[in-house]
């Protein structure tokens, strides 16, 4: 009875703060744990700030003191231009978060470094009542109401995702226990590629068929949103339980090759996708033909809006299994890519934040969380835009750290660098990602758009246009990008048509581009209506146009072309104001 009585009561927080000795013991416990995933310099960083705080010198813990006393930087270190300390602090926060989610779930003392500062905090864990058999989340030790807040965050995210989403039953993302299970690896779709069948039976066709199979496997493996396997288990079922199978049949007919490929749902044998590829055989171009056909199959099946995405999005409308919650959150991001409403974006962010807590090593979730922050930053849906961009940069850095070959992680890194103004570095990251997986139409479109905005209009818009043709996902985002390409190609009729098709509503730059296009076309009445809409729905945007333009367009002549259209639309933009905005941008 005594044990039952304890479960039915809530133990109040201890009033006494942790002692110095307890904190130092906890520090040693963290540093010695394999789950504290941080390099030696970060361990020194953590030790330094804790020892300084315990010595009563918390007011000395600044980026400058950390850089000089921990990292050995000289007196010329400038925290305003060198983000080294900020980046390492972000890594320590993530390492501490992972530690308390895994090894430190029941530790008596919780050490944390709040965002925006480097002075650590120390708290005792509070024992919170839970029904029998349920664990206490580490955050509960920080606040007696944390359990309710954690559950509330899940409910809010799930409720938002259920509204108008392609994942109508995303409310099922809510864990069945009060705390999410932490997985070291996410549950993501697996696909088994069976050896393609040679229907011609010649030595040439056999060699071609084997080559096609190998090429398809290699191309699908570049998409980190799923796992590709080639071996069946001893009982005839795939090892690890792939839920899709890709089959292919190859036939030679004179000088033509025909590949018939289909994707099978393993649970019921249904065909969820199929296509036929016909290629002309040419002497000396066998490998080139294999590469082309394999790229087409892999892109159709494995890219973010491909056949596997569509099949899972449909399945998750009915239910989301407990161990698929993190993956379902990534689907929710793609599902809302064309929806820029503040409510839906907040739900996606909350879902991805929870996914990164559930599975701290899931690089794709970190990457999409970064991109969700960037979307909010672009759309002016978060008033603390500098902090939003900083969160995006931190999440992107974490994604790349976890998997440097993940194209989605590199995409997030590229976008964070671009909006920070480091365009050359952003494009370098983009080129690297495109080389890793040129078949990823989602990324290629984004990279093409960044090339265009940097002034490489011909090559960037060409890549963007090709990517749109290969991308089966929501078209609005890239239609808006094509509107920009048309504008700077002086094809203002096409620019308006693309902008109207996109209809991104509150996307700030898209509204600016539409307004400038109307100005160039001399449509004064429509331009006036557009200005009124912006003033009502995006207050402050017209006044911030110089900053918005400078944020995206690298070349002065491109900025001037856009501003000329806006002035013709009746927007008063003093020349001196724009010049000041450009000067400020170059300084920072």
Looking at 257, 272, 303, the residue that finishes a domain is: 303
Q: Examine residue 170 and state whether it is found in any structural domain, yes or no.
A: no
Residues 197, 278 share a domain: yes
CB count, 10 Å around CB of 137? 23
Residues 218, 296 share a domain: yes
Residues 67, 7 share a domain: yes
Q: Examine residue 38 and state whether it is found in any structural domain, yes or no.
A: yes
Residues 242, 131 share a domain: no
Q: Examine residue 348 and state whether it is found in any structural domain, yes or no.
A: no
Q: Examine residue 279 and state whether it is found in any structural domain, yes or no.
A: yes
Q: Examine residue 488 and state whether it is found in any structural domain, yes or no.
A: yes
Tokens of 109: 């003392």
Tokens of 461: 């818009």
Residues 199, 124 share a domain: no
Structural domain including 435 reads: 382-587
Residues 578, 441 share a domain: yes
Confidence class for position 8, pLDDT limits 50, 70, 90:
very low
Mean pLDDT, the chain, integer: 78
Looking at 109, 144, 179, the residue that finishes a domain is: 144
CA distances from 140 to 9, 35, 353 (A): 15, 20, 17
Instruction: Please state the rounded mean pLDDT for residues 526-532.
Output: 93
265's enclosing H/E stretch is strand 256-265
Q: Examine residue 26 and state whether it is found in any structural domain, yes or no.
A: yes
Q: Examine residue 314 and state whether it is found in any structural domain, yes or no.
A: no
Looking at 282, 303, 324, the residue that finishes a domain is: 303
More confident residue, 149 or 334: 334
Residues 228, 282 share a domain: yes
Residues 387, 284 share a domain: no
Number of domains present in the structure of the chain: 3
Instruction: Quote the pLDDT of residue 284.
Output: 67
Residues 195, 140 share a domain: no
pLDDT, tens digit, 9 for 90 and up, residues 359-414: 899 999 999 999 999 988 877 644 446 788 899 999 999 999 999 999 999 999 99
Q: What CATH number did the domain enclosing 525 receive?
A: 1.25.40.10
Q: Examine residue 311 and state whether it is found in any structural domain, yes or no.
A: no
Residue 239 in this model has a pLDDT that exceeds 80: no
The answer to whether residues 93 and 72 touch, using CB atoms and an 8 Å cutoff, is: no
pLDDT, tens digit, 9 for 90 and up, residues 170-211: 333 334 333 444 555 778 888 999 999 999 888 888 888 888
Residues 135, 203 share a domain: no
Confidence class for position 229, pLDDT limits 50, 70, 90:
confident
Confidence class for position 428, pLDDT limits 50, 70, 90:
very high
CA distances from 520 to 511, 527, 546, 570 (A): 14, 10, 18, 11
Count the helices and strands in the chain (H runs, E runs).
24, 8
Q: What span, in angstroms and rounded, lies between the C-alpha atoms of 208 and 257?
A: 10
Residues 403, 542 share a domain: yes
């Amino acid at each position: 009875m005594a044990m039952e009585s304890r479960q039915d009561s809530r133990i109040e927080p201890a009033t006494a703060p942790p002692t110095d000795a307890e904190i130092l013991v906890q520090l040693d416990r963290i540093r010695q744990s394999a789950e504290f995933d941080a390099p030696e310099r970060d361990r020194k960083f953590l030790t330094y700030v804790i020892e300084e705080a315990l010595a009563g010198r918390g007011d000395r813990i600044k980026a400058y003191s950390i850089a000089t006393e921990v990292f050995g930087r000289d007196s010329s270190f400038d925290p305003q231009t060198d983000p080294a300390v900020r980046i390492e602090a972000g890594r320590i926060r993530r390492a501490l978060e992972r530690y308390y989610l895994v090894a430190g779930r029941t530790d008596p003392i919780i050490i944390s470094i709040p965002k925006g500062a480097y002075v650590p905090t120390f708290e005792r864990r509070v024992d919170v009542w839970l029904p029998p058999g349920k664990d206490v989340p580490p955050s509960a030790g920080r606040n007696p109401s944390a359990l309710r807040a954690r559950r509330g965050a899940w409910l809010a995210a799930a409720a938002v995702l259920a509204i108008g989403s392609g994942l109508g039953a995303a409310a099922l993302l809510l864990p069945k226990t009060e705390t999410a299970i932490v997985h070291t690896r996410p549950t993501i779709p697996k696909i088994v590629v069976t050896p393609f069948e040679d229907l011609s039976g010649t030595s040439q066709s056999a060699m071609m068929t084997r080559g096609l199979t190998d090429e398809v496997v290699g191309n699908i493996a570049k998409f980190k949103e799923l796992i590709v396997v080639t071996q069946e288990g001893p009982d005839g079922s795939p090892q690890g339980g792939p839920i899709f199978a890709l089959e292919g049949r190859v036939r030679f007919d004179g000088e033509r090759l025909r590949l018939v490929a289909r994707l099978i749902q393993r649970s019921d044998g249904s065909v969820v996708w199929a296509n036929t590829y016909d290629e002309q055989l040419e002497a000396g171009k066998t490998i080139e033909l294999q590469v082309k056909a394999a790229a087409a199959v892999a892109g159709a099946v494995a890219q973010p809006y491909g056949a596997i995405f569509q099949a899972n999005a449909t399945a998750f409308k009915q239910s989301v299994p407990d161990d698929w919650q993190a993956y379902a959150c990534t689907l929710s991001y793609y599902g809302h890519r064309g929806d820029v409403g503040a409510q839906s974006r907040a739900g996606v962010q909350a879902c991805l934040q929870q996914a990164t807590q559930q599975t701290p090593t899931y690089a794709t979730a970190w990457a999409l969380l970064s991109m969700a922050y960037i979307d909010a930053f672009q759309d002016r849906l978060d008033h603390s835009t500098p902090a939003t961009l900083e969160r995006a940069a931190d999440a992107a850095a974490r994604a790349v750290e976890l998997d440097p070959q993940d194209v989605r992680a590199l995409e997030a890194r590229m976008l964070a660098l671009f909006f920070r103004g480091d365009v050359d570095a952003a494009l370098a990251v983009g080129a690297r990602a495109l080389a890793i997986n040129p078949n990823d139409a989602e990324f290629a479109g984004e990279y093409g758009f960044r090339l265009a905005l940097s002034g490489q209009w011909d090559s960037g818009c060409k890549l963007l246009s090709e990517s749109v043709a290969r991308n089966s996902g929501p078209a609005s985002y890239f239609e808006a990008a094509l509107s920009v390409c048309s504008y700077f190609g002086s094809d203002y009729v096409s620019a308006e048509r693309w902008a109207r098709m996109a209809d991104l509503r509150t996307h700030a730059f898209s509204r600016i581009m539409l307004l400038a296009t109307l100005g160039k076309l001399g449509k004064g009445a429509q331009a006036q209506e557009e200005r009124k809409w912006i003033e009502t729905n995006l207050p402050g945007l017209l006044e911030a146009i110089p900053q918005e333009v400078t944020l995206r367009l690298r070349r002065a002549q491109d900025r001037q072309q856009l501003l000329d259209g806006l002035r013709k639309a009746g927007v008063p933009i003093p020349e001196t104001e724009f010049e000041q905005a450009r000067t400020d941008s170059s300084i920072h």
